[in-house]
Amino acid sequence: MDQDVARGEAMKVPENLARKFLYYPDRLPPDMPPPRWAGGAEEVWMECDDGVNIHGLWWPEPQGAPVILFLHGNAQEVYSWSLVHEELATTGCRLLLIDFHGYGKSGGVPHEAGLYLDGKAALGWLRERDVGDSDIVVFGKSLGGGVACEIARGRQFKTLVLESTFTSLASVARNLFPFLPKGVPLGEAYDSISKLPQARSPVLVIHGERDELIPVSEGQALFDAAPEAKEFYLVPGAGHNDVSLVAGPEYARRIATFLGVSP
C-alpha cells in the first residue's frame, strides 16, 4: 500500500471511533405521534443547507413570548427530551426542541458539521416566523452546547445557556476515548472554548458539581471564556444527567431570573 494511502486509512480510524462513541441516536417511526407528556406540542420539519430534513417539536404558547431553542445531548430523541418543556415552563417561554441529523425522525447521520447545520436551520425556521435573535434563548445541553456555541458566534440572542457542556472534544477525549493515544486526531472538534468569546449574548453556564462525564472544570473554563454579562450556576450534588432533578424548583427559578422573568 502507498505510504500516503496508508496514512489516510489510519487517519480515518479515529474519526470513525469518535463518531461511534460520541453519538447515541435513537430512531423514531415516521408515523409515531408525540407522547402524552409532550402536550401542546406541534410536530415541525425544517430543511438544512445540505438538503437533510430534521424533525422537531414546537410549543407555540404563550404567543409572543421569547423562544427557547433547546439543543439536546448526544442520546435519545425529541420525544424523550420533551420533558424539558415541563421543567422550563415557569420561564414563560415558547419552546422549539429539535433532533439532530440521524436522531429521531430526522434524516442523515450525525456528524459535527451536520449538527451545526441543524442549529442554523432551526434559527432560520424561527426567523421565518418573525422570531428575531433578541427573542431567542439558545439552550445547549452537553453535546448541544457545542452546537449552541457555534451558532451563537457574532449574534446577539436574548441569552445563551450552556448546561453540562465541554470546552472541546479533545479536552475530554481521555474520558470518552481512553484507548486512544494522546494527540491522535479525532476528526471531530467541537472547539467551543475558542468560539465562546465571539458570542454577543449574556451567558448562563450550568454544571453539576459531581458531573462524572464532563468535569466541572470544563464548565468553569467555559464561564471564564464567556463575555459579560455572565453567570455560573453550580448545582451541588448533581451529576451529568440529573442537574434539573437534583436542583428541583431552583433550576427553573435561576434560569428565569437570568432571563429577567418572574417565575
Active site residues: 142, 211, 240
C-alpha span between 255 and 243 (Å, rounded)? 13
C-alpha span between 36 and 206 (Å, rounded)? 28
Say if residue 221 is preceded by a cis peptide, omega within 30 of 0.
Answer: no
Which residues lie across from 46 on neighbouring strands?
A: 54
Residue 96 and residue 122 in contact, taking contact as beta carbons nearer than 8 Å: yes
- Phi/psi at 45 (5° precision): -130, 150
229 SS3 class: coil
Residue 118: closest CA among 133, 132, 104 = 104
Which residues lie across from 95 on neighbouring strands?
A: 59, 68
104 SS3 class: strand
The full DSSP string for 158-226 is: SEEEEES--S-TGGGHHHH-TTSPTT---S----HHHHGGGB-S-EEEEEETT-SSS-HHHHHHHHHHS
Helix (H) and strand (E) counts in the chain: 10, 10
Q: How far is CA 13 from CA 6, 94, 171, 185, in A?
A: 11, 42, 19, 9
